[in-house]
Amino acid sequence: MLTVALIAVVWAGLAIFCKLRFRFADKMPAVEPLVPFFGNGLQFAGKNSYEICQSLTRAFKDNKRIFKLCFGPIAVVCPTHPDLIQKVLCDTASMNKPHVYSFMRVDLGLLSAEYDTWKNHRKVLNPTFNTRILNSFIPIFTDCVAKMIESMQEHYQPGKPLNILEFTSPCTLGMICRTSLGGKVLEREGTQQFIEGLEVILHNVGLRMFNANLHPNWVYRFTRFYRAEMKARKFCYAFTDKIIHEKQLEFAKLKQRAAESNNNPGELMQEEEDDMLSYKKPQIFIDQLLTIPLPDGTPFSHDEIQDHIYTMIAAGNETSATQAAHTALLLAMHPDIQEKAVAELREVFPTPNTEYSHEVLKQLVYLERIIKESQRLCPVAAVYGRKTLNDLQLDEFVIPKGNLFILNIFALHRRKEFWGEDADQFVPDRFLPENSKNRHPFAYLPFSGGARGCIGSRYAMMSLKTILSEMLRNYKLTTDIRYEDMEFKFKVSMHLAYDHRVFLEPRNLYG
Ligand code: HEM
């Protein structure tokens, strides 16, 4: 009897606490049906990633300016209008990230770091993605793409479809690892296990994100997923620790050499830097992390370096691979658009030996519109979140500190009031300058926006252009998947619910 009374008191206390805690959202429109006690929770709990994707699409369909999703007593704010999304992404009051980002275990990396850490690190790391550095990566991009084409040639059989993602994934992994850790990183002992380890980590992080039962640490720790993830992390960290250590030694030796020759060590490092900036030597991310000081003059710590490296791999690899595969599939579904892209390639690559360069990539303007349209209709970062670190006013609501936002970019990108009646159609030319000039700047957010937007967006565009142009130069793409039948599910990013099935037909651009 006493136990029942105690539970009732705790229960009532909790209910009152939640009622007061989320009082700010009392008058905010909700998504029906709101089930007593569960709210909208039953539409998400126990569902697989495909069903969650469907539920989120339904919830955002009504296009209210702002609404709430109730997970039990917890209200999560969902702004849908670009004006409000702009406020959330640009106001420092909402620059923190929700708890689920911590599942990646890179709390010091840009993607999930707390605002204060993030602010200092982002300021220092922005220049590591400048144009000269990105240009120095082009030889790495082209080499990785050449290997992808070789692999496609090996697997090509007339009339047999390939899952294009199986080819873009190793390619973008090669790019991100080689530009982050050095050119020969994937030739080291243990590479295969490292790659498999990364796959396990990413898979389990995605699984956990979209399975609320696995959210509490104390539950997750008792699962086989946790054990597999920790085993993979142990191996991967050992693999990258060795590289970090070797690099540290390399830089220490460089400094010592400078000291011995009575040179200014800073000058010698500068010489090394200038050498890299001559485009001949790619300016690898880890080298930057080991040489650039933080705003207070201290170097990045080992843990910070590690978290930044894994953040780049997590944020840059799967996203780019999947977006490349989505785009290839869309091209296979739209032969007329594919042919227009090929016509552009004939002009930009007048001979088989035309080399990739900044100028060449810049000239691929139609391909860029295709990629942008693919990112609009199939954005791999389809849903992301923010958390308030101070009160934030959105319309008549004041969202207090510590509350969460869900931004559904997939829904935003298909709103007819911003994209027109043909919003669901694949029309790359909507990104012609004359067709874009009156568009709301926050109606299109494949790379997010505001200060916490994607640091790698230009890197991604360059790598996607290299992958897709080379694929089209070598193959005509077709598919038996109909555009209307495209369905999606979540891993960490938004994937197709089935394979990216594409048939290849060798193409001679110069025949
Ligand atoms: C098609 C490819 C890509 C897409 C669609 C994409 C999209 C995004 C989005 C939407 C965000 C914001 C996420 C959030 O706020 O929760 C983001 C952040 C980030 N991305 Fe990308 N990204 C791509 C490629 C890359 C690449 C290639 C890199 C690195 C080389 C990269 C590194 C990052 C980092 C470090 C952040 C965190 C930025 C910060 O908070 O300061 N991304 N990306």
Q: Is residue 340 part of a domain?
A: yes
* The predicted structure's pLDDT at residue 279: 47
* The predicted structure's pLDDT at residue 271: 57
311 lines ligand 1 (CB under 6 A): yes
- Condensed to tens digits (0 to 9), the pLDDT of residues 68-89 reads 999 888 999 999 999 999 999 9
What is the 406 CA–ligand 1 centroid distance (Å)? 17
φ, ψ (nearest 5 deg) of residue 404: -105, 150
**Cα(449)–Cα(86) distance, integer angstroms:** 8
459 lines ligand 1 (CB under 6 A): yes
Which atom of ligand 1 lies at the shortest distance from residue 460's CA? 27
> What burial class does residue 245 get, using C-beta atoms within 10 Å of its C-beta: 0-12 exposed, 13-18 middle, 19+ buried?
exposed
89 lines ligand 1 (CB under 6 A): no
Q: Is residue 11 part of a domain?
A: no
Contact 313, 177 (CB under 8 A): yes
* The predicted structure's pLDDT at residue 270: 58
Q: Is residue 477 part of a domain?
A: yes
DSSP string, 10-32: HHHHHHHHHHHHTGGGTTS-BPS
Which atom of ligand 1 lies at the shortest distance from residue 322's CA? 1
What is the 448 CA–ligand 1 centroid distance (Å)? 8
Structure tokens that stand for 469 in this block: 């142009």
Query: If phi over 0 gives left and psi between -120 and 50 gives alpha, with beta otherwise, what is residue 397?
Result: beta
* The predicted structure's pLDDT at residue 83: 97
* The predicted structure's pLDDT at residue 35: 87
Q: Which amino acid is at 328?
A: A
CA 58 to chain centre: 23
Contact 327, 379 (CB under 8 A): no
Contacts of 240 (CB under 8 A, 6+ apart): 181, 306, 309, 310
319 lines ligand 1 (CB under 6 A): yes
Q: What are the residues facing 70 on neighbouring strands?
A: 75
Which domain range does residue 254 map to? 111-381+446-510
pTM above 0.90, yes or no: yes
476 lines ligand 1 (CB under 6 A): no
Q: What are the residues facing 399 on neighbouring strands?
A: 392
Q: Is residue 503 part of a domain?
A: yes
Asked if the ipTM is above 0.85, the reply is yes
Query: Longest C-alpha distance within the chain, in Å?
Result: 87
What is the 312 CA–ligand 1 centroid distance (Å)? 8
122 lines ligand 1 (CB under 6 A): yes
Share of residues in the chain with pLDDT > 90 (%): 75
Q: Is the dihedral of CA 9, 13, 66, 99 positive or negative?
A: negative
Contact 372, 426 (CB under 8 A): no
* The predicted structure's pLDDT at residue 120: 95
Structural domains counted in the chain: 1
Q: Is residue 485 part of a domain?
A: yes
**Cα(430)–Cα(340) distance, integer angstroms:** 15
452 lines ligand 1 (CB under 6 A): yes
Q: Domain holding 483: CATH number?
A: 1.10.630.10
What is the 111 CA–ligand 1 centroid distance (Å)? 7
The closest residue, in CA terms, to atom 26 on ligand 1 is: 316
381 lines ligand 1 (CB under 6 A): yes
What is the 150 CA–ligand 1 centroid distance (Å)? 28
Report residues of the chain scoring pLDDT below 50: 276-277, 279
Q: What is the end-to-end Cα distance of the chain in Å, rounded? A: 87
The closest residue, in CA terms, to atom 21 on ligand 1 is: 454
Structure tokens that stand for 352 in this block: 């088989």
Tell which one of 117, 454, 461, 462 to mutate to probe ligand 1, the residue whose CB is within 8 A of the most ligand atoms.
454
Q: Is residue 88 part of a domain?
A: no
Q: Is residue 434 part of a domain?
A: no
CA 331 to chain centre: 22
**Cα(53)–Cα(39) distance, integer angstroms:** 18
Which atom of ligand 1 lies at the shortest distance from residue 464's CA? 1
* The predicted structure's pLDDT at residue 288: 92
Q: Is residue 137 part of a domain?
A: yes
* The predicted structure's pLDDT at residue 115: 97
Is 454 labeled as ligand-binding? Answer: yes
**Cα(471)–Cα(108) distance, integer angstroms:** 37
The closest residue, in CA terms, to atom 2 on ligand 1 is: 320
Query: If phi over 0 gives left and psi between -120 and 50 gives alpha, with beta otherwise, what is residue 182?
Result: left
Length of the chain: 511
454 lines ligand 1 (CB under 6 A): yes
The closest residue, in CA terms, to atom 23 on ligand 1 is: 316
Cis bond before residue 33 (omega within 30° of 0): yes
